[in-house]
Chains A and B, each alone.
Chain A
Amino acid sequence: MYIVKNALRSITRSLSRNILICIIALVIATSACIALSIKQSSATAKDNALKQINVTGVISINEEKLQQQFAPSSSGSSSTQRKNMRTQMSTLESGLSLTNLQKYAKASSVSNFYYQISSSMNGSGIDAVDTNQGNFSTSTSPTSTSSSSSKKSGEFGGENGGGNSNAPKMFAGMGQQGDFTVIGYSTSKAMTDFVSGTKKLSSGSMFTFDGKNNSCIISDQLATYNSLKVGSTITLKNPNKTSGTAETYTFTVTGIYHNSESSTSSSGGMSFGASSNTANQIYTSYTALNNITTTSTKSATTSKDDQGNTTSTALRSQVSGTYVFGTEAAFNTFKKQVKTMGLSDSYTVTSPDITSFENSIKPLDTLGGYATIFLLIVLLVGGVLLALINIFSIRDRKYEVGVLAAIGMKKFKVASQFVVELFIVTFVAIIIGTSVGAAVSVPVTNSLLQNQIAQQTSTASSINNNFGYRGGQGGPGMSSISQASTNTNFVKQVQSATDLNVVMELVGIGILLTLISSSIAIIFISRYEPLKILSNRD
C-alpha cells in the first residue's frame, strides 16, 4: 500500500511536527499508563485479597440500633434507661444461644460453623499480667477489682479490637469483671489466631476438645510471670461469688503459646484492666468451659441490689458462633437467608474479614478514584492539544492535500494517509509511554499509596483521639469501629501495576485520540475543493 509508504515518508520528512505530536502523545500515554495502572492494581489487589481471605461472619446484637433506642435524649432518668437497656441486652443475648446460632448454621450458604464460649474469671494463686498499669497487679488487688467493677458496659470493648483477635464479645453490666478471660473453643478451626499463625504453641501440646481434665493452654508471658510449666495446674475462681466459699475451678496447663502480636490492643484509652491484655487469655475446650458455667449456674444464688437490679453469683459466659463461607457472595446470601430464617432486626450479621478487607483496600481505592479523575483530565487536555496541533498542521498541509487531489488521489485515500501518519506517531508514543509508565508506575503507585495510608491513619487516629472516649462508653460495637481503622493492615504495596488490561486500554485510548485528532483532518480534506490548488500557491 503506497498510502502507508507515503505516511511513513511524510513522518520522516516533517520530523519537527511529528516529534511535537509524539511528545504530547507520550505525555498522555505515560500519565494514562500510570493512572490506569493504579486503577488496575487497585482492582487486582482487591481480587487477590478477596481470594485469600477466609470469609467468616458473626451474628451479633445490632449495637447501633440499641444505642438509638436508648439515646441519652430520650426521656427517663439515666439509671432507668440503663436498667432498660440491660434488660433488653440480656433478652437479646439469650436470643444468641448456641442452639439458635446452630440453627442459622444450617443455611445453605454456610460451609462451616464453629463456636466458642468465653468467661471472665479471677485467679487464685496466679497473678494476671497487666502492662497497662505499668506494673503487674494481682487478681486480688482491691484497686483492680474496684476499678473494673466501676466501669460500665463499654469496658470490654478493648477485647474486640485488632481485627485479628478472635476474642468473643462480652456483654457487660451483669457481673464482675475478672482478670482472666477464659475461652472455650468447639474445634481447632475456631482458633483463628492459631490457624493464621499469630499465636503458636511454643511448648507442650494443645488442650483436648473432649473437655476431660479441664486442660488448657496459656501465654508464655503468663507462664513466665507465674513460673508455670507444661503440666502445672492453675486455679481460677468465679469473680461474682464475693461472699461465702470461693467457687474455684482447676485447669491443667498442657501447652504454652507465644503471641507474635502485641499483647495489648494498641489504641490508647481502650484497654481497661488486666483481662484486656491478651496475655491473660486462657484457652480451653468448649466442653470444659461449658461444664464449668453450667455447674456455676446450678449452684448460683440471686440477690437484688438497692436499685432493684437482680444479680446472680453465677459465672457469666458468652457464646459466640462463627460462620465460615466459601465466598463473599455466600456471606451476602447468608445475610438474606438468616432474615428469612427469622433473625430479627435487633441482630446484625457482620464479617470482620470483609470489614477489615474493605478497610485495608481503602487507600488503594481512594487512589484509584483520584487516578480516574487524573486520567480524564489528561485525556481531555491532551486531546484538545492534539486537536489544536492537527488544526494548525492541516492548514500547513492544505497545499499537499490540493496537490494530491489534483493529481487524482481520492480524498478517502488522502485522509487515510493522514490518519495512518497520526496512528504511527501516536502508537510510537504509546509504546514508549507504556514502557516508561510501566517502569515508574509501581514506585509511583507505592509512594502515593504511602501518602494515602499516612493520611488515612492520621484521620483515623484523630477520630480515635476525639471520639475515643465515646467509643469506650458506647460499647463494644462502637469501639470496634474506631479501632478497626487504627489497626487495619492496609494494603501497603502493589507488586505489578501495568498488565495486559492496561496495555489494551492504552491502545484503546490511542485509537480514540487518533480518531479525535484526525477527524479534523478528515473533515478538512473532505471539504477541500481541488480547484483551490490553482488559486492557492502557498
Chain B
Amino acid sequence: MSILSLDNVSYFYDGTKKNVLENISYDFDPGLIYAVVGRSGAGKTTLLSLLSGLTNPKKGSILWNEKDINKLNKYTYRSQYIGVIFQSFNLLPNLTAVENVILSMDISGKKFNNKKQHALELLGKVGLSEDEAHRRVLKLSGGQQQRVAIARALSYDPEIILADEPTGNLDLETQDDILDIFSKLAKEENKCIVLVTHSPQVSERADKIYELIPLKGTRPKSDQQSNEKIG
C-alpha cells in the first residue's frame, strides 16, 4: 500500500492557462527512495509543493494513506506526517540552528524527552558541530544551512521526507553522507524518501525514478521564466 500517491493530478498556476503538470499518477511506498527528475520548468518544485500540501491540485487528488490530503488538516499533515527540505531551506535567520530544529519539534506537537539534546544529536548526524549548532542560521554557510534544513525535516520523525535539491549546496563528500542518511532512513526506519533533483549522482542512489517531461506547446516567455524561478 502506498503511503503517498498522486492520482491523475493536473496543475496550472493561476493566471495561466497552460498546465504545468498533466494527469500525473505516481505512487510512493515506505522504505524506498524516489527521485523525481526533469529539466528546468518540468514542474518538479510544483510537484513537491503539491505533495507537501502547500497548494491543491486543479484536477485529481493527492492521497496520504489513501486519504485525500485535501480532507486532512494541512497544518497537521505538514507538521507531523511529512518533513520538507526546501530548496531555499526556509530557515528562520534570527534563530540558531538548534532553535530552528526545536521550533519544528514544538510545532509538530509531538512529545520528546529532551528536545535540545535530540536536536543537537540530529545536527551532529548531518555534520554540524555543537558550536555551529548554536550559531544563528544567518551566520552559517549555504551548505551548513542545508544541513540544518535536513535536520529540521527529520527532527519530528515524519513518515515521509520530501526534499527539493537536498544536496545542491553540498560538496560531493557531504552529499554522500547525506544520501547515506536518507538510505538508512529508508532501509532501517522504513521511511519514504522523495528527492526532487536534477543531479545524476543523487538519482542513481534512488530506488525508483520518476521523470517529468516539460509539456509541449510554446508558453509565453514570461511564464517560462517565472516557472523556472519556481522550479
Chain A positions within 8 Å of B, measured between CB atoms, are 2, 6, 9-10, 13-14, 400, 402-404, 406-411, 413, 529-531, 533-535, 537
Contact = CB atoms under 8 A, between A and B. Distances in A.
A408 B79 contact: yes
Given A9-B95, A403-B90, A534-B86, A408 B80 contact: yes
Contact of B76 (A403, A406, A408): A408
A531 B77 contact: no
Contacts of B76: 408
Which residue of B75, B104, B229, B230 has the most chain A CB atoms within 10 A of its CB atom?
A: B75
A534 B230 contact: yes
30 contacts: A6-B103, A9-B94, A9-B99, A10-B94, A400-B92, A403-B90, A403-B91, A404-B92, A404-B107, A406-B90, A407-B78, A407-B84, A407-B90, A407-B103, A408-B75, A408-B79, A408-B80, A408-B104, A408-B108, A409-B75, A411-B75, A413-B107, A531-B54, A533-B54, A533-B90, A534-B86, A534-B88, A535-B226, A535-B229, A537-B88
A413 B75 CA distance: 11
Nearest to B108: A408
Contacts of B54: 406, 530-531, 533-534
Q: Which 5 A-B pairs have the closest CB atoms?
A: A408-B79, A408-B78, A2-B106, A13-B94, A531-B55
B144 interface: no
B70 interface: no
Interface of B: 45, 49, 52, 54-55, 74-80, 84, 86-88, 90-92, 94-95, 99, 103-104, 106-108, 152, 226, 229-230
Nearest to B52: A406
Nearest to A402: B90
Contacts of B78: 406-408
Nearest to A406: B90
Nearest to B73: A410
Nearest to A403: B90
A407 B229 contact: no
Given A407-B78, A531-B49, A537-B88, A13 B95 contact: yes
Contacts of B229: 535
Contacts of A409: 75, 79, 107
B116 to A, nearest CB: 12
A19 to B, nearest CB: 15
Which residue of A9, A14, A407, A413 has the most chain B CB atoms within 10 A of its CB atom?
A: A407
Given A402-B90, A403-B91, A406-B90, A2 B103 contact: yes
Contacts of A13: 94-95
A408 B128 CA distance: 25
Given A408-B107, A530-B54, A537-B88, 16 more contacts: A13-B95, A14-B94, A403-B90, A406-B54, A406-B84, A407-B79, A407-B90, A407-B152, A408-B78, A409-B79, A410-B75, A531-B49, A531-B55, A533-B86, A534-B45, A534-B87
Contacts of B74: 408
A172 to B, nearest CB: 86
B34 to A, nearest CB: 20
Contacts of B75: 408-411
A535 B226 CA distance: 9
A10 B230 CA distance: 29
Contacts of A407: 78-79, 84, 90, 103-104, 107, 152
A411 B73 CA distance: 12
Nearest to B87: A534
Contacts of B106: 2, 6
A527 B226 CA distance: 22
B80 A406 contact: no
A403 B74 CA distance: 14
B15 to A, nearest CB: 13
A478 B223 CA distance: 88
Contacts of A6: 103, 106
Contacts of B45: 534
Contacts of A406: 52, 54, 78, 84, 86, 90
Nearest to B226: A535
A530 B53 CA distance: 9
A10 B76 CA distance: 24
Contacts of B107: 2, 404, 407-409, 413
Contacts of A10: 94
A407 B90 CA distance: 9
A94 B141 CA distance: 105
A2 B94 CA distance: 16
A140 to B, nearest CB: 99
Contacts of A534: 45, 49, 54, 86-88, 230
Contacts of A404: 92, 107
A267 B106 CA distance: 79
